[in-house]
Amino acid sequence: MRPILLSGHERALTQVKYNPDGDIIFSVSKDHVVCAWFSHNGERLGTYHGHQGALWTVDVDPTSSLLATGGADNTMRLWEVKTGKLLKTWEFATSIKRVEFSSDGKLLLGVTEKRSGHLSTIVVYEINPDPAAEQTDEQALRIVCDESKATVAGFSYLSHYIISGHEDGSVSQWDAKTGELLFSTQVHEDDMQITDLQWAPDRTYFITASKDKTAKLVAADSLDVLKSYPTDTPLNSAAITPVKDYVILGGGQAAMDVTTTSARQGKFEARFYHKIFMEEIGRVRGHFGPLNYVAVHPQGLGYCSGGEDGYVRVHHFDKPYFDFMYEVEREQAQAQANL
């Protein structure tokens, strides 16, 4: 496969996201600008200007009409995808580390950073899906994380729960209606920050990536760890691929040590693991900095990764990716074909 290299950002990428149809990629970086790209050829559709600080997070609603971003300028913003128009700005006391729409696009969640005098919170807003409509200032829900600060969060299936990953390696389950803490469990090692949480397509389970060098597949209902993927490097991101049962993990040497390590030692590769067998099946190299985020095409046709090196690399999978099967899988497929 020939990756497409997107070089529109001047600083390290922090998050990349496909829209639900998989034709547009949104990328945010520390250079204050949001970029939208066509995924098939890497053409840049446009840029969204307005943020005054590094951007940490981006998410797009299910209809690809609204875009939410959050950054270090203590604001969460809502944009019209088509025109790049800023629709709404919510201001906070601290920076926004994560935003995510619910699967129906009616709710928007934001995770605020913990800083002197301010605890980390998860805020939820009701969103009017019409770009022309006025958006509310009123928070539908506000969860204060007083134990350990939340780093990532998302809505489970049917917006039933809010699942949050924390700095201390624990994962919490909150009632998305009342904000009540239902359950909390230590998924990753103590004091190893959870760096990413991405959902399976049906949002009944998710994958977490952590600085403890592992990624774990966790059920949304019970918070049971279903699968664990150990690696040899701190992870920044993990994604579940549809169509094929793989997971993609991204990470690498801590950003501050990058200049002192060679690309090979830095382990700046996307690692592919088989989701069920928990076995590494391959790596894709290319970045010369740690991978800060990996996102998978919602139809499973490719993936893209944003690196500390300031590039987004868009990969379209080719035949060997789809053909690969374990012996048992092949036997099973054959048995089914014979029926």
Partner 1 sequence: MSRVAGRTDWAEEEDEDSLQLPQQQIIKNKDGTETIITYSIREDGKKVKTTRRIKKTVIKQIVNPRVAERKHWEKFGSDKGKPPGPQTDTTSVAENIVFRPVSNWKASTEDKNETEKKKASLKEAKIKCRICSGDHFTTKCPFKDTMAPEGEATPADMPDDAPQVGAAGAGSGSYVPPHLRGRGGAGEKMGGKFDRDDSATLRVTNVSEFAEEQDLRDMFSRYGHVTRVFLAKDRETGRAKGFAFVSYADRTDAARACEKMDGYGFGHLILRVEFAKKPN
**Would you tell me which residues interact with partner 1 (CB under 8 A)?**
1-8, 21, 23-24, 33, 37-38, 41-49, 64, 82-84, 246, 264, 272, 274, 277, 279-286, 313, 315, 317-318, 320-321, 324, 326-327
Pick 65 or 204: Cβ nearer partner 1 = 65
Residue in 88, 85, 86, 16 with CA at minimum distance from that of residue 303: 16
Q: Cβ of residue 324: shortest distance to partner 1, in angstroms?
A: 4
Give, in order, the Cα–Cα distances in Å from 69 to each of 10, 20, 80, 127: 18, 17, 11, 14
- How far apart, in whole angstroms, are the C-alpha atoms of residue 16 and residue 296? 10
Pick 174 or 321: Cβ nearer partner 1 = 321
- How far apart, in whole angstroms, are the C-alpha atoms of residue 203 and residue 156? 5
Pick 64 or 94: Cβ nearer partner 1 = 64
- How far apart, in whole angstroms, are the C-alpha atoms of residue 243 and residue 141? 35
Question: Collapsing DSSP states into helix, strand and coil, what is residue 45?
Answer: strand
Dihedral of the CA atoms 221, 223, 226, 231 (nearest 10)? Answer: 140
Q: Cβ of residue 80: shortest distance to partner 1, in angstroms?
A: 10
- How far apart, in whole angstroms, are the C-alpha atoms of residue 234 and residue 118? 28
Instruction: Tally the C-alpha atoms within 13 A of residue 268's C-alpha that lie toward its C-beta.
Output: 24
Q: Cβ of residue 21: shortest distance to partner 1, in angstroms?
A: 5
Q: Cβ of residue 281: shortest distance to partner 1, in angstroms?
A: 4
Q: Cβ of residue 220: shortest distance to partner 1, in angstroms?
A: 27
Any idea which residue has 């701190």 for tokens? 234
- How far apart, in whole angstroms, are the C-alpha atoms of residue 243 and residue 161? 25
Pick 12 or 111: Cβ nearer partner 1 = 12
Q: Cβ of residue 23: shortest distance to partner 1, in angstroms?
A: 4
Q: Cβ of residue 331: shortest distance to partner 1, in angstroms?
A: 14
Q: Cβ of residue 297: shortest distance to partner 1, in angstroms?
A: 12
- How far apart, in whole angstroms, are the C-alpha atoms of residue 92 and residue 74? 5
Residue in 253, 240, 183 with CA at minimum distance from that of residue 209: 240
Task: Find the radius of gyration of the CA atoms of the chain.
Answer: 19
Pick 22 or 154: Cβ nearer partner 1 = 22
Token couple for 55 = 């951007």
Residue in 242, 233, 230 with CA at minimum distance from that of residue 322: 242
Pick 191 or 279: Cβ nearer partner 1 = 279
Pick 7 or 186: Cβ nearer partner 1 = 7
- How far apart, in whole angstroms, are the C-alpha atoms of residue 94 and residue 242? 35
Pick 18 or 125: Cβ nearer partner 1 = 18
